[in-house]
Amino acid sequence: MLARLTQTKALHWLGRQLLNRDDPAAWLDPLAGAINPMWVQEYTPARVERIMAETADTKTFVLKPASRWTGFDAGQHVNICTEIDGIRRTRTFSLSSSPELWHKQGLITLTIKRLPGGLVTNWLHDSLSEGDILGLADAFGEFLVPQPAKPVLFIAGGSGITPVLSQLETMAASHYPAPVTLLYFVRTGNDIIGREKLEAIAARYPGLNLNIIATHEGKEPRFLCDADLEAIDGLKEREAYLCGPKGLMDLATELLQQRGLAESQMHSTFFAPPAPAALDNDQLGGEVSFTRSSVNVGSEGDANLLEIAEAAGLKPRYGCRMGICHQCSCRKTSGTVVNRLTGKVSGPGEESVQLCVSVPRGPVQIDV
- Each domain of the chain, given as residue ranges in start order, spans 152-268, 281-366
Q: Report the percentage of the chain scoring pLDDT > 90.
A: 63
The answer to whether 152-268 and 281-366 have equal CATH topology is no
CATH T-level assignment (fold) for domain 281-366: Ubiquitin-like (UB roll) (3.10.20)
CATH code, 152-268: 3.40.50.80
d(CA 336, CA 286): 10
Pair 283, 177: CB distance under 8 Å = no
Which of 156, 192, 152, 191 shows the shortest CA–CA distance to 172? 152
Q: What does the pLDDT look like over 251-281, one tens digit per residue?
A: 999 999 999 999 999 998 865 555 566 666 6
Give the model's pLDDT for residue 327: 76
Average pLDDT value for residue range 206-212: 96
- 350: DSSP letter: S
Phi, psi of 20 (to 5 degrees): 55, 45
The set of residues, in sequence order, having a beta carbon less than 8 Å from that of 275 and lying 6+ positions away, is none
Average pLDDT value for residue range 63-92: 91
User: Is residue 98 pLDDT above 70, yes or no?
Assistant: yes
d(CA 338, CA 126): 40
Give the model's pLDDT for residue 41: 52
Give the model's pLDDT for residue 149: 95
| pLDDT band, residue 88 (cuts 50/70/90) | confident
| pLDDT band, residue 5 (cuts 50/70/90) | very low
Give the model's pLDDT for residue 186: 97
Query: Of the ranges 117-121, 160-164, 227-231, 363-367, which one carries the lowest mean pLDDT score?
Result: 117-121
The amino acid present at 210, given as its one-letter code, is L
Average pLDDT value for residue range 278-300: 85
Which is more confidently placed, 319 or 292? 292
Which of 288, 285, 273 shows the shortest CA–CA distance to 341? 273
**What number of other Cβ atoms are within 10 A of residue 170's Cβ?**
19
